[in-house]
Structure 1
């Protein structure tokens, strides 16, 4: 039970037993690596991020300085995450393939986020102000054991988040931003006992975050850190500013200088840097009703079960909200939530950024949870993930066996043209993770462990079950519905044997990257005189305008079978002056003699 005024909780040493290392590592590794390999880049952000990485890996130094997708500048985010992904493609693309190799960068950022989150919580959990009540005859937990237990809980809470499953396995800049926010959080915590080391970590985190996103996000975090340093007295604000800020500026300045000095055309470099600096200003604006409505419907589900536990922590530690274990996570969490309110367009891609500080804050609620709350979390998670796992298995059986017929027909109606195949390895993995889920639930309910991390074990194991089942039993179906492979290859086959280049019209970054990678199309810009047009037509825009002596003729059209709202059309430029005139029709009953 929390004692807000004295900042103490009452715990025995038995309540701070650490989670078995093998179980914790198994959950982290299985959850992190599942879904990274054996699939195509998916629309939309996943394919776009991969497209930039692939362009850098196969391109020149100019591409590394100014990231692009087959010539189209990509200035929405900084280049750092793309540099890491392109490096992985160059190192391992020959063994794994470019798509799978690029997701090694995702795995690297994921494991780094887990490590920074764990160590930040561990350092906070060892501090004197959060230690449990010291009994007269002993029996309270050791400071290190208490910190380790809280760190295990923070990591389990982070992994239990529902929204981490999809977004945490994509090749997007946000997975790197997530890691650098966790790094900055660790730097703030580390500065409490080692100011210089912590300031260096903070500077490295903020500089890397700037190179992975844009200037607005790190600037807002920096302002929040300044305010947090005034509210939380143990933070060495002067050291953080004088050491961390110059390091962050030096990292960003190095890239800007290299881009300006190394660019073939200085004007292109200035334009690229200007667009990069302006993108954040186009991303954020005044709060709008559609965005607020989207946040209200999706943010709480995305961050379940992290947000209710974090809210409980805020209430439980009401007498110590300026203490580091509450103030430091809030220093980064509040500005991130504020930026979500200012988004101009609704989307969940940035929801992932709030998870590290929210998980650290939530970890300190674990010693204060009542038995009723613990049971509620356990039974809700048990019920939800058991129903979800049973549903996945039921739908897979229907898809595989054709029974029940109506259910199987509905599945294939959503994926027209999909050919289901029985994969022994995928089924065995799904069976193993289902068995592991049953054993974990049985152990949790039968043993009734007293450790403070017990409320989130079933939640973390449940999200692992959910993700592994989806990425084994349903991976072919999901991949078929979210890839552009088939339509891109069909467009490639329709191309004439000789063509100058293909000019894309209304094609997004994900579509452009997918057609270039899967179809090997040679794209060009408006000034390249392309003789092929490839248009994305979500509605009927009519035929392209012809010019004197030339005509655009339709040579192919297609779409992804799983998406009825999109359609691609390919046109070839035909010179009417050189085209052979049509031969006149003969009267009925006659035949044309050979020439």
Structure 2
């Protein structure tokens, strides 16, 4: 028997303007007005910027001004580089590159919504008919579930920072969501055109972040067809293979013809893919269970309940498809040698869709518990953000204000009326939302997650409006790059850079530093990055003869107590 029994009043969909406003409030803070963040964000921007400034060889061989970056496929960087070329002169290269991030987010959100909508309209997903009628219409039920899935997707803690970073991971998760949507349509009405769309999606995933995940998806779909006794669908899935191979084949042929920099990224790219597969170890298992609990919050409790509530209809597509994707991605995360958050990202689209089907069967007491947890934690977080900002602006409370300024030496607080008004309106809207939820006790399905999503969006908006100048001052390498540039000659030169990829990217962009390229040899300068926590004295690369170099500059970010960059000049013979 189906576990769902609902009246039509529980399937009132969110207004379209409300969904659009939530998505904009979610994605725009963090895309506007900030410098590239240290890590994958700055690294990916560096690849995009290098492509936009370079030739065809730079587009075929991803690198950061001479530093090879063959680990990931080039697709996300191609799209970002196109945005830089089109809009860089208007909004600046970093912001232009992040326009691609906004597009990726839109693709993922729309795919999650439509995949859930199509699954929610299916006959096996419909609630039981009520004795005197009044059950919801299939389209209304599907729309309400889709709204819930999107709210859960936006509310996932693990998506928050990654969805605002420039990089391949943001495109990968969106393509996973799009693949889910295409699979729903393919299982509904198998067509060659849908096979082509599935193949294109898998092929683009290969070009985004390697072939391991797309191959896993292909095998998952074959197993799912056998499990659901729909073997006639297998031929349509197999028909997707030629299309899936096409994008990568074009890239490989272009590399073979152009032979960029007399080399190829393919061997390193293949080696990186092979290293994604290994037997599960203690480290990978402990990392998964340690971080996935918060990474997939609040989706996983609803998803776990959905699996339990629909256990007698486990072959129904709205349960079997997201569960198959979810289990496949869990296995991949456990088999990886690298413990990193990006391994958990593909879990979010299927777990959000699955969680939406747990909403109609969730007990009111459990829903209230999730709501009160969201209200307590997120209101407290928002209050602390406001308190810290007040301390930064006024120095009251004095202890907190002094600590904030110590974390960002040299920072001078300034008041922006527009930013303050925006943050104040968002805070008032949050309390109105909480009041509506508590006083009205609405019966609509998405009531269970609207506070989790709304509170998370509020905290993110406050952080990336009120605190953005402080964050930029603390994390940016712009001042360090400008100081370094003053120590270098105006004429042509090159630096052998033994520094991290994100630092290389920001130094090259902000300071116009000329690092050694693929064909540069015997540079007159050398730059190292040292950790003062690990050693008190600077360390040179092992293959470098320290006697041939003399230090001419050293620097670090004012807020960083660990990094130390040292510039050396070759001694005259």
Which TM-score bucket, shorter chain as reference?
over 0.9
Match of 1:394 in 2: 387
Match of 1:553 in 2: 550
Number of positions where the alignment pairs a residue of Structure 1 with one of Structure 2: 567
2:430 is the alignment partner of 1:434: no
Offset of residue 351 of structure 1: 2.1
Larger radius of gyration between Structure 1 and Structure 2 = 1
Offset of residue 481 of structure 1: 2.3
Offset of residue 232 of structure 1: 2.4
Q: Describe the SS at the equivalent of 2:570.
A: strand
Match of 1:55 in 2: 50
Offset of residue 244 of structure 1: 1.6
Contact 1:192 1:235 in 2 (8 A): no
> Which range moved further: 277-286 or 426-435?
277-286
Partner deviation per Cα, 1:303-336 (whole Å, 9 max, x = no partner): 1101111111111111011110111111211121
Match of 1:139 in 2: 134
Offset of residue 289 of structure 1: 3.1
CA distance in 2, matches of 1:544, 1:208: 38
CA distance in 2, matches of 1:546, 1:243: 51
Match of 1:488 in 2: 481
Decide which of 333, 336, 339 is 1:343's aligned counterpart: 336
2:236 is the alignment partner of 1:244: no
CA distance in 2, matches of 1:446, 1:74: 54
Match of 2:181 in 1: 186
CA distance in 2, matches of 1:372, 1:187: 36
2:531 is the alignment partner of 1:563: no
Match of 1:105 in 2: 100
Match of 2:345 in 1: 352
Contact 1:57 1:86 in 2 (8 A): yes
2:400 is the alignment partner of 1:404: no
Match of 1:415 in 2: 408
2:509 is the alignment partner of 1:517: yes
Match of 1:530 in 2: 523
Correspondence list, 1:343-382, <5 A? 343-382=336-375
Q: Describe the SS at the equivalent of 1:174.
A: helix
Match of 1:459 in 2: 452
Residue 54 to residue 285, structure 1, CA distance change in 2 (3 Å):
same
Decide which of 266, 273, 276 is 1:280's aligned counterpart: 273
Decide which of 109, 129, 154 is 1:159's aligned counterpart: 154
Uncovered stretches (5+) of structure 1, i.e. residues with no partner: 1-5, 577-595
Offset of residue 235 of structure 1: 7.6
Offset of residue 234 of structure 1: 4.9
CA distance in 2, matches of 1:547, 1:380: 56
Match of 2:302 in 1: 309
CA distance in 1, matches of 2:230, 2:421: 52
CA distance in 1, matches of 2:365, 2:507: 54
Residue 454 to residue 242, structure 1, CA distance change in 2 (3 Å):
same
Residue 98 to residue 433, structure 1, CA distance change in 2 (3 Å):
same
Decide which of 468, 472, 476 is 1:479's aligned counterpart: 472
CA distance in 1, matches of 2:548, 2:460: 51
2:118 is the alignment partner of 1:126: no
Q: Describe the SS at the equivalent of 1:451.
A: coil
> Which range moved further: 110-119 or 127-136?
127-136
Residue 537 to residue 212, structure 1, CA distance change in 2 (3 Å):
same
Offset of residue 239 of structure 1: 3.8
Offset of residue 499 of structure 1: 5.2
2:209 is the alignment partner of 1:217: no
Q: Describe the SS at the equivalent of 1:163.
A: helix
Contact 2:61 2:260 in 1 (8 A): no
Offset of residue 546 of structure 1: 12
Contact 2:419 2:466 in 1 (8 A): yes
2:2 is the alignment partner of 1:10: no
Partner deviation per Cα, 1:219-273 (whole Å, 9 max, x = no partner): 12211221112112358532432332211111221221122112246x513xx11
CA distance in 2, matches of 1:80, 1:546: 35
Uncovered stretches (5+) of structure 2, i.e. residues with no partner: none
CA distance in 1, matches of 2:467, 2:545: 52
CA distance in 1, matches of 2:231, 2:416: 54
CA distance in 2, matches of 1:142, 1:543: 70
Contact 1:177 1:353 in 2 (8 A): yes
- Aligned-pair Cα RMSD in Å: 1.9
Partner deviation per Cα, 1:344-377 (whole Å, 9 max, x = no partner): 2322133222110110111100110111111111
Q: Describe the SS at the equivalent of 1:195.
A: coil
Offset of residue 542 of structure 1: 4.4
Contact 1:174 1:350 in 2 (8 A): no
Q: Describe the SS at the equivalent of 1:201.
A: helix
CA distance in 2, matches of 1:451, 1:556: 63
Contact 1:11 1:132 in 2 (8 A): yes
Residue 541 to residue 133, structure 1, CA distance change in 2 (3 Å):
same
CA distance in 1, matches of 2:457, 2:555: 37
Offset of residue 544 of structure 1: 7.6
